[in-house]
Structure 1
Amino acid sequence: MAFLGKEYKQVKDENFEAFLKAVGVPDAEVAKLAQYKPTSKLEKEGDTYVYTTTTPTKTKVVKFTPGVEQDEEIREGLVVKSTYTIDGNVLTQVIKHDDKVSTFKREFNGDQLVVTITANFWDGVCHRYYKA
């Protein structure tokens, strides 16, 4: 798990704005969020993991135990059920809110991180690319 503790900065994305619109993010927010180039870092603390995402406006820290569903605020005022699993170099997050399910598959390969986003309410696929 050489990727643990490395900071990855987003360098490009594909279909991210379309995903945000499908989720219901207002157009004014979509434009703002699409400009951000967040950094991400995964760390291990005993039996738990810490996933940190930093944008120009805030730092979000999520502590999780793999396979355990938990409440997670993904946007101000929006709390969802989130489950993280780890399989080798892949961190998968499944988000459930009402009847909507989104999956964020984060694949760490050396100095690259590729996030693939899919959802049961959207026909598209989003990719976000990061470099350490």
Structure 2
Amino acid sequence: MAYLGKTYKFVKNENFDKILAHFGVPADKIEALLKLKPTLKLEKSGDSYVLTTVDSSTKELKFKEGVEFEENLTEELVAKSTFTFAGDVVTQVQKFEDGRTVTIKRTFKGDELVAEITASSWDGIARRYYSAA
């Protein structure tokens, strides 16, 4: 888990706009989201983990591996999220009230992080690429 405590800076997107559009995000919000260059950091805190994302604001997700919790994605949108670890892969599954699920598989490889985003209701794969700061 050499990636713990490292800061990763956003490099590029692949199909991220398409998955956002699939979920009904308005075009102006997609455009704004595509302009953000977030940083990510995953840290261990006792028996929990903290995933910090910094872009126009700071968002911290505190979780325990394998334990489902409520994640507020927006004021109106809440998911039941669960994180699991397998070597250098951290998988997050978000379950929504309408039955859809989103899976974010974060693969850490040296100084690179690739986040693959898939959805139960969408056939594509979106990727977000990061490099260690």
Q: TM-score range by the shorter chain?
A: over 0.9
**Which one-letter code corresponds to 1:87 in the other structure?**
A
User: Moved runs in structure 1, 4+ residues, more than 4 A?
Assistant: none
Query: If the length of structure 1 is used for normalisation, what is the TM-score?
Result: 0.96
Instruction: Identify the residue that residue 60 of structure 1 maps to in structure 2.
Output: 59
Query: Offset of 1:111 from its aligned partner?
Result: 0.6
Counterpart mapping for 1:38-117 below 5 A: 38-55=38-55, 57-97=56-96, 98-117=98-117
Shift of 1:75: 2.0
Secondary structure of the structure 2 residue equivalent to 1:123: strand
Q: How far apart are 1:23 and its partner, in Å? A: 1.5
Question: C-alpha root-mean-square deviation of aligned residues, in Å?
Answer: 0.8
Larger displacement relative to structure 2 (66-75 or 76-85): 76-85
Q: 1:44, 1:59 → 2: CA distance?
A: 18
What is the match of residue 4 of structure 1?
A: 4
Moved more, 119-128 or 71-80: 71-80
**Aligned residue pairs: how many?**
131
Unaligned runs of 5+ in 2: none
The whole-number CA distance in structure 2 between the counterparts of 1:52 and 1:77 is 21
Distance in 2 (alpha carbons) for counterparts of 1:37 and 1:126: 16
Residue identity in the other structure for 1:44:
K
Q: SS of the counterpart of 1:33?
A: helix
Distance in 1 (CA, whole Å) between partners of 2:23 and 2:88 is 27
SS in structure 1 at match of 2:73:
strand
SS in 2 for 1:75: coil
TM-score, normalization: structure 2?
A: 0.95
- Cross-structure match for 1:33: 33
Matched residue, 1:24: 24
